Amino acid sequence: MNTLFSHVTQVPRDPILGLNELFQADSRPNKINLGVGVYYDEQGHMPLLEVVKHTEAQLAEHSAAKGYLPIDGIQNYNKGAQQLLLGKDASAIHQERAVTIQSLGGTGALRLGADFLKMVVPNAVVAISNPSWENHRALFEKAGFEVVEYPYYDSQTQNLDIEGMLHSLEQLAPQSIVVLHACCHNPTGIDPTFEQWQRIAQVLKEKQLIPFMDIAYQGFGDGLDEDAKAVRYLAELNIPMLISSSFSKSFALYGERVGALTVLTSTAEQSPKVLSQLKRMARTNYSNPPTHGAQIVNLVLNEPSRFAAWEAELSQMRLRIRTMRQQLVAKLAEHGVKKDMSFILDQQGMFSYSGLTQAQAQRLRDEDAIYLLDTGRICVAALNEDNLDTVATAIARVMADS
């Protein structure tokens, strides 16, 4: 029968969150989730950070009615997010060329930015890295853009294809949008060196491209300031750009949807106009952002003692991931993997692009209840002393068979 929704087709499962749904539905008791980008502690639990727990408790003591936030969110939160990103002394801040709006996580920031750019440069193409975070293409296509890819990962060297990347960026028409992972590239874990960032920046500037920096893992690479180096460098060059930040991972506040979109304008005069457009976009989409998570992050970012406590917890997470990388490489060798897997040690952030094929990922899921993305991306932050041996044994087995 032909009814209103008869032509609605089924969308395939989301490559990341859909895999999570499969994992949840799996009844095997020893299942291991290395799919979604979530940090788990040594006990295999998603941590509630101490600083978050204390801040939350204090907020609860002074609990108040839950009014609407302003359309662009908590002002001091926006200021704190901006300073964390650009540095307190950034000239863009002093010259009032930085506009920040609280967003629904990093994804919400990307979408707000995409909708804004659709208004400013409606015919632009969006270039994303090959490979990139699974949601980038879908998100920019949904916002109405044509999405193309620039080379990024060289599977031969398991490293960055910098020449291919630069060459491809040089071919883009002026005012094309280039999505860049500011640190801890998702999914490969391979970041440009600072010298490579300088070369990328030169092309962006010369070709008048519009960088859209995605920074969802600040603090998971080398440190909070270190991981913002690329963003700060581009900002100092006065390149107009957009930046999406997320506090989902760095505060373990995944479900609170705490993010921010920052736009760097060319003059102070443009800033209030840009902000007014962003507010219009937020208002006509979700009205205003949620309160709770941003209140916590606001207090932490703006109070030095809380900030120091947060930074210390974040460092622990970063170091634990490093240790897991080392142990994974050692265990794989112990279990007979002959291939040099030391590239895992050079990758940054939560992920390792393991080189495992889709067929191998499928086997690990079916035979061992070990979930990783079909692209071979492993969330190293989900490994621990208890599951490491099981994971290494299973990976060594599927690698040996193929």
Spot the catalytic one: 72, 115, 133, 310. Answer: 133
Please answer whether residues 184 and 177 qualify as being in contact, where contact means their C-beta atoms are separated by less than 8 angstroms: no
Residue 320 or 331: the one with the smaller Cβ distance to ligand LMR is 320
3-state DSSP assignment of residue 193: coil
- Residues numbered 259 to 318 that lie near ligand LMR (CB under 6 A) are none
Instruction: Classify strands 159-160 and 153-154 as parallel, antiparallel or unpaired.
Output: antiparallel
HSE toward the beta carbon, residue 302, CA cutoff 13 A: 15
One-letter amino acid of 85 = L
Site string for ligand LMR, 60-99 (x = CB under 6 A): ----------------------------------------
Q: What angle do CA 103, 175, 92 make, to 5 degrees?
A: 55
Active-site entry in 118, 229, 249, 331: 249
* Interior angle at CA 133, CA 129 and CA 136, nearest 5: 80
Which of these, 235, 18, 215, lies nearest to 103 by C-alpha position? 215
Return the SS3 of 103: strand
**Minimum CB–partner distance for residue 186 and ligand LMR (Å):** 5
Distance CA(365)–CA(376), nearest Å, equals 12
Which residue in the set 36, 125, 138, 333 belongs to the binding site for ligand LMR (CB under 6 A)? Answer: 36
Q: CB of 96 within 8 A of CB of 275?
A: no
Complex with ligand LMR: residue 37 or 376, whichever CB lies closer: 37
**133 counts as catalytic:** yes
> Cβ closer to ligand LMR: 92 or 139?
139
- For residue 337, state whether it binds ligand LMR (rule: CB under 6 A): no
Nearest by Cα to 402 from 333, 355, 353: 355
CA distance 251 to 253: 5
Minimum CB distance to ligand LMR smaller for 115 or for 214: 214
**Cβ–Cβ < 8 Å for 106, 259:** yes
Question: Which of 110/210 has CB closer to ligand LMR?
Answer: 110
With CB under 6 A as the contact rule, the residue among 19, 23, 32, 37 that binds ligand LMR is: 37
CB of 136 to ligand LMR, least distance (A): 10
Nearer to ligand LMR, 186 or 298 (CB): 186
Q: Considering only CA atoms, which of 350, 370, 320 is closest in space to residue 30?
A: 370
214 catalytic? Reply is yes
- Which residue number places its CB atom closest to ligand LMR? 37
Report in angstroms how near the CB of residue 1 gets to ligand LMR at its nearest.
37
Q: How far is the CB of 247 from ligand LMR (least distance, A)?
A: 13
- Stretch 169-188: interaction string toward ligand LMR, x if CB under 6 A: -----------------x--
Which of these, 223, 219, 201, 222, lies nearest to 210 by C-alpha position? 201
Using the rule CB under 6 A, is 395 a contact of ligand LMR?
Answer: no
Q: Which is nearer to ligand LMR, 133 or 152 (CB)?
A: 133
Q: Is 133 one of the binding residues for ligand LMR (CB under 6 A)?
A: yes
Shortest gap between Cβ of 37 and ligand LMR (angstroms)?
Answer: 3
Catalytic residue among 214, 227, 229, 331: 214
Rounded Cα distance between 143 and 129, Å, is 18
Catalytic residues, which ones? 133, 214, 249
Please give the residue ranges that form the binding site for ligand LMR (CB under 6 A). Answer: 16, 36-37, 133, 135, 186, 216
